[in-house]
Structure 1
Amino acid sequence: METSIQQMYGFQLCEYLLIIEPTDPVQKQIRAFKQYFIRSCRYPNAIVSKGHITLMKFVQYDSYEKPIIREFQRLAAGIMPFDITLQGFGNFGHTLFVDVKSTGPIRELVTLRRRELRSLLRAEGFDPYFVTKPHVTIARNLTPTQTETIWPIWNRTRYCGSFRARQMVLLKRPVGSRAYSVVDKFNFLGLIPRFTQGKLFA
């Protein structure tokens, strides 16, 4: 009944991604890894989208978009820009990725308001996902045989890159579609939250 009411008023169920995008030099390196994967492995599993670190993934009606944007703006305003270090490669069995070594600031960003955000980001039947292992995907949906074939090579491949994270980006796509579009970008401002100021001067 709830879904039909939402549809009646033109509300659309969408998939959302909150991400951090590496800067251009690192993006070029990640793109080169994806292209190398396609050429060398000849598997159609490389992700052709821009490299990114997923922070949160959730499904919600777009009617909730404005309050979600406001919450992410408040969250970003209290975060200082921080350095992210990428080093080496890892795999989840089905996914090949560039490993993120400096996970502390990312985990803090994700967990800072996790409990408060969950109810806002959760649509009935869809629980929000919060990253536990930050990474940049190179290829996914690998079979066990494919992983066994490629991992000895990628495990020996050395790579180290870094960039300064200055913002996070919210993407969305209607459920069932493929292409994401940018909803908004949230700059890390490093401002002291108002409730903290109140405590300091109380």
Structure 2
Amino acid sequence: MAIFTRKYQRKNYYVEQGLLSANGYAVYEYAIVLEPHADLAETIAAEKKYYATTYQCPEALHIKPRITLVRFKQHELMEVHIIRQLTNIATAVNTFKVELKNYGSYPSHTIFIQVVSKVEIMDIVKSLKASQKLMKFDDEHKPHFLTAPHISIAGKLLPWQYEKSWAEYQHKHFHGRFIAEHVLLLKRKENTKMWQPVNTFSFKNMHTQPVQAALFPSK
């Protein structure tokens, strides 16, 4: 009885921490992203390092240079279905150029690099939305889709950090471009910072029959 009680308490702990669902399955936070090529990513990382040092914002170093298309919480057992659907979506996408120019902000909390070529990115987001049933954990945890493409420099800023840094960054210039050739699926345990790569999905410009969500387990 004592052994059973310890197992039950341990399971409840992992459920409360968001690592397991109530039925005992592993739960992760997922993200589908576009990443710039290595040289451009290094340039952006250097800018983020400058920001972290200048404005006392070490959190800026934890966000890699990426365009996040969607973030969601889901059972790990759904990965195989998500991977299958992402393969299907990516196969129909052609490679395209992503243009970055200067900086923007979400007042009071975020500084970012602006993405000025948006059409192709939002087309991918539209395709992902068509498969959002796969990404819905429950009614309280629905997927968060990109509404405006950007690459974050720093977020969750204190008022003084935002006001002081935006006074600099609204006049600062940046320009870069990269060819988007794939999307990347990432995952991490909730309440952790490190993302793990799950799979890369190359763009092939080969249109296929869409895989209907009805083929997958209902949520």
TM-score, scaled to structure 2: 0.82
Long gaps (5+) in structure 2: 1-19, 211-219
CA shift, 1:40, in A, is: 2.1
1:33 maps to 47
Which of the numbers 182, 192, 208 marks the counterpart of 1:167? 182
Q: Distance in 1 between matches of 2:122 and 2:164?
A: 32
Amino acid at match of 1:191: M
Q: CA RMSD in A?
A: 1.7
1:179 maps to 194
Give per-residue Cα distances to partners, 1:69-115, cap 9 Å, x unaligned: 00000000000000000000011131111111101100001012413
Q: Distance in 2 between matches of 1:58 and 1:4?
A: 18
Amino acid at match of 2:31: L
1:153 maps to 168
**Structure 1 runs of 4+ with >4 Å offset:** none
Map residues 4-153 of structure 1 onto 2, 5 A cutoff. Answer: 4-5=22-23, 7=24, 11-92=25-106, 93-115=108-130, 117-124=131-138, 125-153=140-168
Q: Distance in 2 between matches of 1:44 and 1:192?
A: 43
**Larger deviation: 22-31 or 39-48?**
39-48
Q: Distance in 1 between matches of 2:177 and 2:64?
A: 16
The DSSP-based 3-state class of the residue aligned with 1:141 is: coil
Amino acid at match of 1:173: R
Q: Distance in 2 between matches of 1:101 and 1:188?
A: 21
8 Å Cα contact 2:62-2:193 kept in structure 1 = no
1:43–1:178: structure 2 CA closer, same or farther, 3 Å change rule? closer
CA shift, 1:180, in A, is: 1.2
CA shift, 1:140, in A, is: 1.0
Give per-residue Cα distances to partners, 1:12-62, cap 9 Å, x unaligned: 111000001100121111011111112322333313342100001000000
Q: Distance in 1 between matches of 2:60 and 2:166?
A: 14
Does 2:208 match 1:193? yes
Q: Distance in 1 between matches of 2:57 and 2:123?
A: 36
Amino acid at match of 1:57: R
CA shift, 1:154, in A, is: 0.7
1:29–1:123: structure 2 CA closer, same or farther, 3 Å change rule? same
Q: Distance in 2 between matches of 1:102 and 1:70?
A: 28
Q: Distance in 1 between matches of 2:162 and 2:95?
A: 35
8 Å Cα contact 1:34-1:48 kept in structure 2 = no
CA shift, 1:167, in A, is: 0.4
Identity, % of aligned positions? 29
Amino acid at match of 1:100: V
